[in-house]
Chain A
């Protein structure tokens, strides 16, 4: 089942398979006793590889589960499912003797403690990641004590050395974290991670809490350290511009899943995942010669409590695929889907559309609900709310839409939901896109890249219920 793509003969240093973390969102003991629990699907089946000496950037909006992924990778939170394999250095009689694969999710806590010397973590918030009651020396010395790396003079020596490595003065050893600026604190955090001489460092948004001028310094420091010590990084960030310079490969994450993984160049050039494309268009462009439109994503990230079916991005995707039967303009189609999704979630008519202020009203004070509008006006309010033309270009689509609006007018929300569902269901809602290979090491999880998509139509709709030859369909 795991599709391991061998790009080089090299085995990845760290490899996650189907890594999954669900949080129980129930209010506590009583709730779980009553069965009221619901899972927050923070990370849902992520596969990733990290090769020696490279930097893998992981990008996503806040709430997409990237921090949870980072923590689950190092088992700082217990993963719900999946495995993380690490090629651990093995020593025999003090001599390096190759590597051995261990699964982080199953090792004993003692072995895990040993693995902490190979896998380290840099935290996002330089203010809360350092214990305010300990001196810098104690903070950096802690890993040395835990793993019996150095004691006495040797320990002091090592602390000085680490402080110098990260660009701090050894005389800072006896000071407390509050005496330092954000950037300096982040350096202390880096020194602490380096103390155990790790191979892999997971950097969880290490610069997002810092001033822009300081960000560059920290990024440079991380890059220098990588060259010097041969480190491999997993670098979490919330925007592409930060990881662009530091990453060899980039993974774009959306709602607990990877939408796209590829080398930095591949991610920054077509073919794009529609989500990546939107993120790229949002990078502020200082180049006045650049001509491009920013793609605005409608709505907010849906709740990971109940992620959308099929492709999780379909509630916001500008390129959502049309059913084979229609041929609408893409933005009209998007609007139709928006209306449909809203009707589905709506409990009352009022939450579907509101009367615009300028609507001529006989009695301006009482007319606040669209219920009271006459039929024709009702329809135009709905259409203008969702940017729909007065008539869709496709006649069968138009028929279904106007019937649904009529049903809404009769306050039959359920009926309208059923009709809209019937007429306008995108393949994106039904099929969970599997990552498709679009380059040597480039994977995009989007039906547009699926082989069943022929550039215009997605043809698997009928096939998957019939022949069963279509084994790639994974309905959630």
Chain B
């Protein structure tokens, strides 16, 4: 339905006004009823994670090991018992032949399912309680380094320019050294112990997070919603923590999950080198170190395998489960980014 005109591009078209347009097909296939309740993003990630069997097994193992560690011995805070349950039959440091009728280096039996070690201590009790050090150091270190790296990387990536340049050269310097060497240097400077170990893995450990976060922030920063927030008058702090960080954080979470296992191995490695906790402590790596001579056949020609195999197995089980979780988280977040629900993608 056109009328000819002499004006260039001035054709009159009728039947294309807004009222008619309203009668047309809906703008998308989304219907009032098809959406259901709006689900949050983390709920969707959890739904996807739950469907991953390996990741769930890993999560269960980690949860059980953590609970066993917590309930192995009573927990006292400033003289007050906050956790009275004691799953481990003996205190991990107790030398049993003094009060009980046992001898050193007894193989596993019903009363001592993981045997007795060379100092006459109950290996089962020690493995249970040993998780307290390894696991908690893993979580604490990752929480601290992750937070530092997140803030550091966000600032570096968001402000850019010479700020970024200086901050990233510092990170480069740290990353030029192997993490375990740096941790060893710190432990040999400050001595062994729980908080020394935490410090050993924290002081330089945040660098990788920072680098990862910066790259992610640089990417997210390009999105128009960041400029939109500025156009609305949002302050830098709001832009960073409301718009950039939540969108940049998934890769950091994946890395952090995997990193818990790495830290646990690192703590064990330092313990095995005799640089971790005090020699008698029930910490998995330290236990391995104590049991080192047990691998050499003793007077009777027998190998006292139980002294090293159980703490070793605990380390292995924990780290493997942690990696399984990490992969699961990765897949769940990945699907989030690229799937139908892919937020910022076209």
Please list the residues of chain A having a beta carbon within 8 angstroms of any beta carbon in chain B: 28-29, 71, 74, 76, 112-114, 116-117, 120-121, 123-125, 127-135, 142-143, 146-147, 169, 171, 174-181, 183-184, 189, 192, 196, 213-214, 216-217, 220, 240-241, 244, 268, 280, 283, 285-287, 289-290, 292
Contacts and interface: CB of A to CB of B under 8 A. Distances in A.
A285 B9 contact: yes
B113 interface: no
B344 A127 contact: yes
A114 B18 CA distance: 35
Given A117-B233, A123-B224, A181 B27 contact: yes
A283 B7 CA distance: 13
Interface in B272-325: none
Interface string B1-24: 010110111010000101001001
Contacts of B60: none
B67 interface: no
Interface stretch (B30-38, B100-108, B256-264): B30-38
Nearest to B247: A133
Given A142-B234, A146-B232, A244-B9, A131 B30 contact: no
Nearest to A284: B9
B46 interface: no
Contact of A292 (B8, B16, B165): B8
Given A129-B228, A290-B8, A183 B27 contact: yes
A455 to B, nearest CB: 24
A131 B233 contact: no
B224 A178 contact: no
Contacts of A129: 223-225, 228
B99 to A, nearest CB: 59
Nearest to A223: B18
A378 B147 CA distance: 70
Contact of B228 (A174, A189, A196, A213): A189
Nearest to A285: B9
B195 interface: no
Contact of B11 (A217, A220, A286): A286
B82 interface: no
A214 B344 contact: no
A239 to B, nearest CB: 11
Contacts of B341: 178
A220 B225 contact: no
Contacts of A220: 18, 21
Contacts of A76: 227, 230-231
Given A129-B225, A175-B35, 10 more contacts: A113-B233, A123-B227, A127-B346, A129-B228, A147-B233, A180-B30, A181-B28, A183-B27, A268-B8, A285-B8
A146 B21 contact: no
Contacts of A142: 229, 232, 234, 242
Contacts of B11: 286-287
Contact of A143 (B232, B343, B344): B232
Top 7 A-B residue pairs of the complex, sorted by shortest distance between their CB atoms: A132-B343, A181-B28, A116-B233, A129-B224, A113-B233, A121-B231, A131-B225
A143 B238 CA distance: 12
26 contacts: A28-B165, A74-B231, A112-B233, A113-B233, A116-B231, A117-B233, A123-B224, A123-B228, A125-B224, A131-B247, A133-B247, A143-B233, A175-B35, A176-B343, A177-B343, A178-B340, A178-B343, A180-B30, A181-B27, A192-B232, A213-B21, A240-B9, A268-B9, A285-B9, A287-B2, A292-B8
B76 interface: no
A160 B151 CA distance: 35
B342 A178 contact: yes
A268 B90 CA distance: 94
A309 B230 CA distance: 36
A74 B227 CA distance: 11
A180 B38 CA distance: 13
Contacts of B340: 178
Interface string B148-190: 0000000000000010010000000000000000000000000
A328 B57 CA distance: 84
Interface in B324-346: 340-346
A132 B344 contact: yes
A127 B2 CA distance: 35
A147 B233 CA distance: 8
B232 to A, nearest CB: 5
Contacts of B35: 175, 179
B8 A289 contact: no
Nearest to A137: B38
A128 B344 CA distance: 5
B220 to A, nearest CB: 10
A183 B232 CA distance: 21
Contact of A287 (B5, B18, B41): B5
A216 B225 CA distance: 24
A220 B28 CA distance: 19
A89 B91 CA distance: 76
Contact of B27 (A121, A131, A184, A244): A184
